[in-house]
């Protein structure tokens, strides 16, 4: 059972997250031949103040 764990900065729409789930599922199905019913995708949204880029939080960078 393929399992993909995706970390993203908070703020994506439900539609964007649905698209990520769909496309990651499709990619794993094509890459490893697993039935899509067996693919699991877990999205973890990280608060902007908890995500650092080049020593600065994403919140402070305006992301």
* Options 1, 2, 15, 36, the catalytic residue: 2
Is 2 assigned a catalytic role?
yes
Contact (Cβ atoms closer than 8 angstroms) between residue 19 and residue 6: no
Residues with catalytic annotation? 2
């Amino acid at each position: 059972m393929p399992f993909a764990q995706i970390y993203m900065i908070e703020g994506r729409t439900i539609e964007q997250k649905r698209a990520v789930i769909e496309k990651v599922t499709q990619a794993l199905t094509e890459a490893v031949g697993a039935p899509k019913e067996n693919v699991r995708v877990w999205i973890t949204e990280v608060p902007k103040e908890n995500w650092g880029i080049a020593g600065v939080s994403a919140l402070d960078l305006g992301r």
